[in-house]
Amino acid sequence: MVVIDIMRGSNMQNRHRHPGSLMLLVAAIIWGSTFVAQSLGAEHLEPFTFQALRSLMGALALLPLILVMNALKQKKGQTQQAATTKEVLTGGTLCGLVLFIAINLQQFGLVETSAGKAGFITALYIVIVPIYGLFLGHQARPALWLAGLIAAVGLYLLSVTEQFTIGRGDVLLIIGAFFFSIQILLVDHYGVRVDGVKLCTVQFLVCGLLSSAAMFLFETPTLANIWKAIGPLLYAGVLSSGVAYTLQILAQRSTPPAIASLLMSLEAVFAVITGIIVLKEMPTLREVGGSLMMFIGIIVAQRASIRKDAAATP
């Protein structure tokens, strides 16, 4: 899973929304079900190996889109300035470094945690990102603190047992959610300055190269095991990183950012649904309650963002 809201500054208010909403819903389904693909891949590949191959596939999957976009720009007589290229490389490298930490923490966590639970814990970034904003001088609405409290209760029910213990996989996923939040803030910073697709491609490439280095240092990948996991790899690399990201780029041209974020946050719900259908992961009543509380927290946080965006609109 990589949710990247990089088109947030676009003027979309008077455009038709339904096709974009449908594309974002499809993207959320793909991202949510990718947790299942990662779980299946973990049966054959160690974490760094899976994420190295998945990230490099993601970068390759975005290359055709870049070629098409460059051809269209050249047709219009547009050229990319050297300064912009430098920012793409700088931003993509920083984003890739943070993504390398976040996505591998997630993969290690998935070895010990169900796909559905992982989806909801990872979705904490929706609450964490605005809290990080406080350190950048942004004001927090009271609804955000309420959302954080609700999500914290949900996380407790989801991850902490009645004996007041928490699994190592859950801890890794929680730490990963904080790094995903940093990655999202970095993408927000650079995404308004450079081409989003190129930024994302460099990000995946850097993440893939760093994961490859860790793979050769700490793991023992084999072609036989890679072939066994080729389905989950292609799903996570091509479909999740390539197709879903392209759908997001196209959709956000006609969908308001706050609505787009709400639709994309549904990936946590689809992670649970696909985990039940494909992996036969049946959540306990406590986990269902925790997931519900976290989803409510996510919705409250996003509604606060919608009101803030509406108030800031001239």
pLDDT tens-digit profile, the chain (314 residues): 444 443 344 344 444 446 778 888 898 899 999 999 999 999 999 999 999 999 999 999 998 888 888 888 777 776 666 668 889 999 999 999 999 999 999 999 999 999 989 988 888 887 787 777 777 666 666 777 787 788 888 888 888 776 667 889 999 999 999 999 898 888 878 877 888 888 889 999 999 999 999 999 999 999 999 999 999 999 999 999 888 877 877 776 677 665 666 677 788 888 989 999 999 998 888 888 888 988 888 788 767 655 555 555 45
Q: Does 9 reside within a domain?
A: no
Q: Does 213 reside within a domain?
A: yes
What is the token pair recorded at 88? 């793409």
Q: Does 70 reside within a domain?
A: yes
Among 104, 124, 119, 133, residue whose Cα is nearest residue 45 = 104
Judge contact between 147 and 300, C-beta under 8 A: yes
Q: How far is CA 273 from the centre of its chain?
A: 18
Q: How far is CA 228 from the centre of its chain?
A: 25
pTM over 0.85: no
Judge contact between 259 and 21, C-beta under 8 A: yes
Question: Measured in Å, how far apart are the chain's first and last C-alpha atoms?
Answer: 34
Q: Does 174 reside within a domain?
A: yes
Number of domains in the chain: 1
Q: Does 3 reside within a domain?
A: no
**Residue numbers of the domain that contains 222:** 18-312
What whole-number distance in Å separates Cα of residue 74 and Cα of residue 72?
5
Q: Does 29 reside within a domain?
A: yes
Residue carrying the six token digits 């989806």: 119
Judge contact between 3 and 240, C-beta under 8 A: no
Q: Does 51 reside within a domain?
A: yes
What whole-number distance in Å separates Cα of residue 134 and Cα of residue 25?
30
Res 244: pLDDT: 86
Res 183: pLDDT: 87
Q: Does 11 reside within a domain?
A: no
